[in-house]
Structure 1
Amino acid sequence: MPSSAADPIYDDVRAQILSGAIKPGSPLRQDEIAKRFGVSKIPVREALRRLEVENLVTFERNKGATVRQHSEKEILQLLDIRVALECRALELAIPSMITSDFRDMRQLLADYAQRTEVAQWSAMNARFHHMLYEPCGNTLLLAMIDDLQERLGQYLRLLVSTASGLERPMREHDKILEACEKQDVEGAVGMLRQHIEATQKEVAAFLRRGI
């Protein structure tokens, strides 16, 4: 498909939304974006409409475009989908795990335990989960998991990490990895399910407090 003047605008705004650089609820002023890119409002509007289709931007009458805010219900539903996708990926991955996989995951968890910043926990948590599922060999399933993480975006991933803290996830990561090393597929998948569901409950409580 040929590129258009909207493409770089779409790429830039999308990346900023997903990274959390532009927060949920923030206005996206078309005149300012057009000036920054040196274009008319037409490609800006096209880019924002494409982002609207992806549920990243909303248009409101007399207000214009804003970064979409996920409701509590939507966030918890995304975590529900995590349970289904990631448990299946782990189930497929365990039989294919090799010694170097366990060594690398152990090293990551050791580094993880030394981190103090929420952003670092969030990034290393995502990396650990990716390493758990990578041996599954199902590229479509892995792409769906990555897409879900992208839909959550950095802002929501940080919210999840803040709600969960460090101690409980770290303890559960260790137990899941131990079960994987023992080739205990049922035990590891069961613990992963509980792990994500515990996160879901913590996030729900966190959101109810109005944070």
Structure 2
Amino acid sequence: MRDENTTIVGRIAEAIGERIISGALQPNAPLRQDHVAREFNSSHVPVREAFRQLEAQQLVVAVPRRGVRVAPLDTNAVKEIAEMRAALEVVALRNAASKLTSGHLARIELALVEGDNAETIQEFEMANRAFHHALVAACAMPRLLGCVHRLQVANSRLIFAMARSAGWRPRSNQDHRQILQALRARNVDQACNLLARHIQTAERFVLPSS
């Protein structure tokens, strides 16, 4: 029964998380336990656990006397996510750099190419997340990688918000290319500096007024 509940929790958290990231669920929208439980044909217990997972990913907030709501998306959130990512991803990259094999570099390049070839914002977001994951996966620090993953999920929400507000068009990501070139040259300091600068551009995202 516990494994079954875990599966249900994951399914609910993933589905609701995707709606929040894509913007289908807007900032501050209420999330009712009974509605979600009915939709997924579950009890309230896995719904509450799914909400806790989403709260850990900074996608929802529990508001006293108002229940669970989609987390707000404002300039403070953008700044916090960017600064946390810049700090933690750089730490992860420094620990991963010495362990990068030709296979790791090939996966980084594949994600870069997929991002360059993306024709929709959905394809670009998936490739962007894959690129940043591939950069740091070799660090083999599960707690750090868990934190980085949650921040990357939050960043995906910013990407979709920017696309809705300012539009999006296919383009080559020169920042990603320069980071990969620095890693191939074994210039770790340069790669880390480029990564930090690249992440901090999130603070300049144009967010929707809502």
Matched, 1:81 2:80: no
Partners in 1 of 2:14 and 2:99 — Cα distance?
34
Give the alignment's TM-score, normalised by structure 1: 0.75
Contact 2:33 2:47 in 1 (8 A): yes
Paired position in structure 1 for 2:15: 16
Matched, 1:122 2:125: yes
1:55-204 alignment to 2 at 5 Å? 56-59=60-63, 61=65, 65-150=68-153, 152=154, 154-159=156-161, 167=171, 170-200=173-203, 202-203=204-205
CA 1:68–1:193 in 2, change beyond 3 Å: closer, same or farther? closer
Partners in 2 of 1:149 and 1:8 — Cα distance?
23
Gaps of 5+ in 2: none
CA deviations 1:182-204 (Å, max 9, x no partner) are 1101111011111111222x22x
Give the alignment's TM-score, normalised by structure 2: 0.75
Report the count of equivalent residues: 202
CA deviations 1:133-180 (Å, max 9, x no partner) are 011122221122112234x17533423566695547x10100000000
1:26-37 alignment to 2 at 5 Å? 26-33=29-36, 35-36=38-39
Name the SS for the 1:96 alignment partner.
coil
Counterpart residue type for residue 101 of structure 1: H
Partners in 2 of 1:81 and 1:59 — Cα distance?
23
Contact 1:87 1:189 in 2 (8 A): yes
- Identity of matched residues, %: 23
Gaps of 5+ in 1: none
CA 1:128–1:161 in 2, change beyond 3 Å: closer, same or farther? farther
Partners in 2 of 1:122 and 1:177 — Cα distance?
18
Partners in 1 of 2:62 and 2:188 — Cα distance?
42
Partners in 1 of 2:36 and 2:93 — Cα distance?
43
Larger radius of gyration: 1
Query: How far is 1:64 from its partner?
Result: 5.4
Partners in 1 of 2:47 and 2:116 — Cα distance?
45
